A and B are shown apart, each in its own frame.
Chain A
Amino acid sequence: MDFILNGKQQQVGICDANLTLLDYLRGDAAMKGTKEGCASGDCGACTVLLAAPGQPPRAINACITPLGSAANKQVWTVEALTGDGALHPVQQALVDCNGSQCGFCTPGFVMALTALYANSQRCGLQQLDRDSVTDAISGNLCRCTGYRPIVEAGTKMLQIAPAAPTLVQKPASLQPLSTNSMQPQLSDGEHSFFQPATEAELQQLLALYPQAALVAGATDLGLELTQRHRQFAQLISVGAIPSMARFEWQDDQLLIGAALPYTDLESRTHELSIPLKRLLHRLGSRQIRNQGTIGGNIANGSPIADMPPVLLAWDADIEIVDSSGKRTWHPLSSVYLGYRLTLVQAGQYIARIRISRAALERPHRFYKVSKRFEDDISAVLGAFSLELAGGRLGAVRLAFGGVAATPVRATATEALLTGSTLSDALIASACDTLKNELKPISDVRASSAYRSEMAANTLRRALLELGSGLELEVHHYPAGNEAALYV
């Protein structure tokens, strides 16, 4: 495969398709500035920039990104910034503000902030506020500084004039590369990485390799490579297929491509849905949202994924396509068969998600409860679609993550609420019913008792807010549209 690394065209010859971008950088490329802190996409020490042709650079976790995902794209590492020894403004700001102590996480912070710097310049921003900076570094852990000086550096970096032009500001133009999509981008003969350009090619590949693993953002699949040391025979990327990354309205239906990264979705939620915008702000980190997709969130079948309860509350449908090209729409509620088990069979893929305008326009609330505000997995996620007219509840949809083996709707409680008059007594009774209806388990994230209470109290909160018009929010959410910087 070919890609551009720090402005130079790079060719990779015979290579195990299961190699991560990080291992390539630190191994063959001998660029040791990018660090491995966790190899699971949680700490950001491996943050590098990735840009598809014509797209702005985005910060990603190199540790869980298969090398093949960089095919025909541009990658920048920390080594790109210090041409001729002069520090990039991001680096200078970090030095000026004492933003490093042990220094191990620092190159990751530098690159996360460089993405923000480059995109701020592209958007003509003169000033960066604290929220934009914490958003940019939401996937970076530092154990030494307490972050205060790093955030300060982020808010000051635009004021520092660049000492020398940097590669990030002057991206090299991508040479035309071999584009036979049916050939693997990367292979050692036994393990191959394919990057089809169309759904038709994807279907052909799936017909040949029905057991292949599909790769979208690889934010979950990457863990199979780094934590379980799995070696897939075929990895097929859906990341270069334009029809799977669209966000479009058809009549009164919103169609979202299954391979659309969250950041692209998030940038549109400012107008679409503030509850969704807030939820996405807490889904993974900026690095994860730059890679992760709704399709992946559904396809991995996780009971603690954040998007499925939302989609259940919105009565969303998903489009499953098989290797013959046959397309069928299914209500998401029918897709989950059991723990990490979905309707999607080997050789099939999820192409799109469909939500009706009517569903989006109904009042809704999404609440995530987790130990940490940013980049944490939900203990409980409550997603509620509620209609209130004249003090009486109309159709009610209550969906939860983290309370069962799959994302679920609470149908008994829905039945109790539908058509009832909103009152304190009704809220109490609905919460009791819900606690009887859901039987969550205890694990590392929460006890079953707390999960049960949180399912009830997120519902309580939604009903209280609906009735009073007040917001019972303890967290600080950015008011701006930080994601728009990256699009």
Chain B
Amino acid sequence: MRKLIDSTAPAPALFRSVGHSVKHESAARHVAGTAIYIDDMPLTARHLHVAIGITSIAAGRIKLLDVSAVRTMPGVVDVIVQADIPGKIDIAPVFDGDPLLAGSTVLFHGQALFAVAATSFAAAQRAVAQVKVEYEPLPGQQSVALAAETQDFVVPPHIISRGDVAAAFTSAPHTISGHIEIHGQEHFYLEGQISEAMPAEEGGVVVLSSSQHPAELQKLIAEVLDVPMHKVVVEVRRMGGGFGGKETQAAMPACIAALFARRTDRPVRCRLPRKTDMLVTGKRHPFSSDYSAAFDAEGRILGAELVLAADCGCSADLSMGIVDRAVQHADNAYYMPNVAIRGLPCRTNKVSNTAFRGFGAPQGMLTTEAMMDDIARAVGRDPLDVRLLNLYGPGRATTPYGQEIEHHVLPDLLAQLAASADYRKRRAAIATSNADSPVMRKGLALTPVKFGISFTTTHLNQAGAQVAIYTDGSIHLNHGGTEMGQGLFIKVAQVVASAFGVDVSQVLVSATRTDKVPNTSPTAASAGSDLNGMAALDACNKIKAGLIDFACSTYDCAAADVHFTEGQVRAGSLTFAFADFIKQAYLGRVPLFSSGFYRTPKIWYDRKRGEGRPFFYFANGAACAEVTVSALTGEYRIDRVDILHDVGTSLNPDIDIGQIEGGFVQGMGWLTTEEMSWNADGVITSNGPANYKIPTSADVPAAFNVALFQRPNGENSIHRSKAVGEPPLMLANSVWCALRDACSSFAGYRMNPVLKAPATPEQVYWAVQQAKAFAASGKLQ
């Protein structure tokens, strides 16, 4: 350009970068209602709206699919069935098994069967009902137990073992065994699945999607349309919540919108209404887990055996990684010298279950927390003491899959929380008050979380970013991560602001696009800021290298004397406003943009042997929950929760606390009120917010104390921070354990009531009944 902008913006009073609690980049737009989601984009008269027709049986064959009456409904422009797909029919992420539209076989109730494009959303919805389908129903598999028994798996089981488990059980003074049923969880992102596709030149398509994985959508759309990937552009500005539910599940609406856009040459919006969304998209995996432990008189684990049977639904989707992670987290924070953990990825005729914050780890971990309580009650000790006794520590630091725990955070963290939450005094007070209370009983639990950070699929641990500085000093950042509310955009912007010593307001993050940073990994595995922050830093450092060279040669100083700080660039004895320096660099023909790349070091995993170092590091935390239960009804309230969580050196403390609180409450919902239900025919009966209850504000304890554990990451992560997206969800295990503790009090803590998860009032009631029956008869019923 010929003439540069003269004026330089006044320097801000505070330079906000890494470590500051900068607000979410869209906070002001969120509250003003001006943050744009896909359904808020302008509509033209040419726009078409899609409705999805779904199967009404869970298993069988389709004898007849007649959409002729659908075609003649008012407003209908196009209808597609499987035969209309020009390219690949399967849109599965890893292993085939997820046809975009059903062909001759029905895999589950709610499977997409056909799609309608019409001139209005209502017209499309009304037209769908006019389909004629004849089925030949077949007996479907609805039982995880049966699937496990008949080895009906979607992928091979994952087994990790060490030592001589049988010998440990033979020689140990004590053993226990138990079983736990863990339900799934509906993501209930407030913005349902949505995509909009616009036809582009040369048979291409531009797709806006609410997706955690735009690169995968690009690939799947290209396959479905049978065009090269470079003809498909996918853009994600923001999601109205993701939680894993938009990692693979955004693909169906995106592919259908793209297909209609190509067929009709019109812009097409495909939005799933809430009920459809709840029927056709996958959920958190239900697990049916068996555990047994051998231990000494103090409760020290000598051997453990766990079988984690996951209900994967009808296909693999991401179930291999999810079951692997369940297996890899069944140790949680505890050293198990002799151990065998088997993860069974069971096939059923249900919607294919998928990623959900925690990715299998919550189910593995909850199983073990149940086991820890059982051990404590067997030896008559406080469950916290048994947990502390079994924590990983020096000399007891190898996980069942062979990764060494190199940084022992939890012993200190648990001690600090036990003190700040006044655990011992409260435990004693509860013992006294429960003894005098026939109806109302209190429960208390303090549970740890140790969560491995990295995709267990090693190749996904890579990221790219683009950074550009314009001649006015403003900075444009783009990276492969997507913003779903977690604050990724602001965190990575802070990293860039720190690199150049400018205020974060000078950095703008733009929508994630497959034509800006290609071949990106999903924003998942909590790794968003770790990976993209590092990639962005790499880009910054490349630009800075050129700028420093320029400064050294132009201003005759050493590289060590060039500093980017507080909105200024110091080159030896000279000081420039950042924008002025950038102008000079531009005139000096220095490149002001770069891409950056990052691959996580040190990690590898051999799945066949169940060995490796799958995780770069571990994020840790602990929570202490107190509850009150009514024996008359099983109703309860959560009185108080204290959390201490390890985010390393926080990039943004407020954003991190938001993730911790939100993750905890989401986990609390999973373990308390959120009950996924299917009927005997394999139909989801919890199909809307009227019968699937996520927490409301009144469910959150009034006493809710959250603090960050102050210790930098022992590994060289981005500014020594730690990932925070998923780990806090499992802090809610404390609530479930506290509820079970209260139930067990009715048997003098001498038995371990079976408590299904979620622990709805009904389940708590039955657990109390078991404990009372034991107390009355002295034996298990």
Residues of A at the B interface (CB closer than 8 Å) are 26, 32-40, 42-43, 45, 77-79, 81-82, 87, 90-92, 94-95, 98-107, 110, 130, 133-134, 137-138, 140-151, 227, 229, 367, 369-377, 379, 443-447, 450, 453-454, 457-458, 460-461, 472, 474-476
Contacts and interface: CB of A to CB of B under 8 A. Distances in A.
A460 B666 CA distance: 34
Contact of B37 (A92, A104, A461): A104
Contact of B30 (A100, A444, A460): A100
A34 B628 CA distance: 38
Given A82-B34, A103-B27, A104-B37, 20 more contacts: A32-B33, A32-B36, A33-B33, A37-B191, A37-B274, A43-B190, A94-B31, A100-B30, A105-B240, A106-B33, A138-B697, A140-B697, A146-B664, A146-B666, A227-B688, A377-B690, A377-B691, A447-B762, A450-B762, A472-B440
Interface string B114-136: 00000000100110010000000
A77 B697 contact: no
B704 interface: yes
B693 A372 contact: yes
Contact of A229 (B125, B242, B689, B766): B125
Contacts of A36: 39
A455 B54 CA distance: 38
A152 B655 CA distance: 16
8 contacts: A37-B190, A37-B274, A103-B238, A141-B190, A142-B190, A146-B662, A146-B663, A371-B693
A103 B29 contact: yes
Contacts of B30: 94, 100, 103, 106-107
Contacts of B37: 35, 104
B759 to A, nearest CB: 10
B636 to A, nearest CB: 6
Given A98-B654, A146-B661, A450-B765, A461 B32 contact: no
B629 interface: yes
Interface residues of B, number: 84
Most chain B beta-carbon contacts within 10 A, residue among A43, A81, A147:
A147
Contact of B33 (A79, A138, A443): A79
B75 interface: no
Given A38-B688, A104-B37, A143 B765 contact: no
A38 B689 contact: yes
Contacts of B664: 146
Interface stretch (B473-481, B483-491, B529-537): B483-491
B697 A229 contact: no
Contacts of A133: 697
Given A95-B23, A102-B189, A143 B694 contact: yes
Q: Which 3 A-B pairs have the closest CB atoms?
A: A33-B33, A102-B485, A104-B240
B688 A87 contact: no
Given A229-B122, A444-B677, A141 B696 contact: yes
Contacts of B637: 373, 474-476
B658 A101 contact: yes
Nearest to B660: A146
Contact of A98 (B36, B629, B658): B658
B490 to A, nearest CB: 11
Nearest to B23: A95
Given A141-B696, A146-B662, A444 B188 contact: no
A443 B192 CA distance: 26
A374 B125 CA distance: 31
Contact of B698 (A105, A373, A458): A373
| Chain B interface, >50% SS class | loop
A373 B32 contact: no
A36 B277 CA distance: 13
Interface of B: 23-24, 26-37, 39-40, 122, 125-126, 129, 187-192, 238-243, 273-275, 439-440, 484-487, 628-630, 632-633, 635-637, 654-655, 657-658, 661-666, 673, 675, 677, 685-686, 688-691, 693-700, 702, 704, 706, 760-762, 765-766
Contacts of B696: 134, 137-138, 140-141, 147, 372-375
B18 to A, nearest CB: 18
A95 B761 contact: no
B432 to A, nearest CB: 19
Given A100-B24, A149-B661, A443-B685, A143 B188 contact: yes
B124 to A, nearest CB: 10
A360 to B, nearest CB: 26
B633 A148 contact: no
Contacts, number: 245
A371 B761 contact: yes
Contacts of A447: 762
Contacts of A140: 696-697
A458 B630 CA distance: 12
Given A134-B697, A372-B695, A105 B190 contact: yes
A142 B39 CA distance: 19
A110 B31 contact: yes
Contacts of B677: 444
A95 B632 contact: no
B190 A147 contact: no
Contacts of B33: 32-34, 77-79, 106-107, 110
Given A227-B275, A474-B637, A104 B685 contact: no
A370 B760 CA distance: 9
Nearest to B189: A143
B735 to A, nearest CB: 13
Interface core residue of A77, A103, A372, A476 (most chain B CB under 10 Å): A103
Contacts of B191: 35, 37, 102, 104
Nearest to A476: B637
Interface centre among B30, B655, B699 (most CB of A within 10 A): B30
B487 to A, nearest CB: 7
A127 to B, nearest CB: 16
A40 B633 contact: no
A242 to B, nearest CB: 32
A445 B694 CA distance: 14
Contacts of A87: 28, 31-32
B697 A91 contact: no
A90 to B, nearest CB: 8
A367 B633 CA distance: 10
B128 to A, nearest CB: 9
Residue of B238, B486, B632 ringed by the most chain A CB atoms within 10 A:
B632
Most buried by A among B37, B658, B699: B658
B662 A101 contact: yes
Nearest to B686: A444
B662 A40 contact: no
A467 to B, nearest CB: 13
Contacts of B760: 371
Contact of B762 (A141, A149, A379, A460): A379
Given A35-B37, A103-B26, A142-B190, A474 B693 contact: no
A95 B27 contact: yes
B630 A474 contact: yes
A137 B129 CA distance: 36
B433 to A, nearest CB: 14
Contacts of A141: 188, 190, 689, 694, 696
Contacts of A227: 275, 688
Contact of A371 (B32, B629, B673): B673
A81 to B, nearest CB: 7
B347 to A, nearest CB: 25
Contacts of B661: 145-146, 148-149
Contacts of A100: 24, 26-27, 30-31, 485
Nearest to B762: A450
Give the residue among A40, A102, A130, A143 with the most B Cβ atoms within 10 A: A102
A341 to B, nearest CB: 21
A82 B190 contact: no
Contacts of A105: 190, 240
Nearest to A80: B33
B232 to A, nearest CB: 26
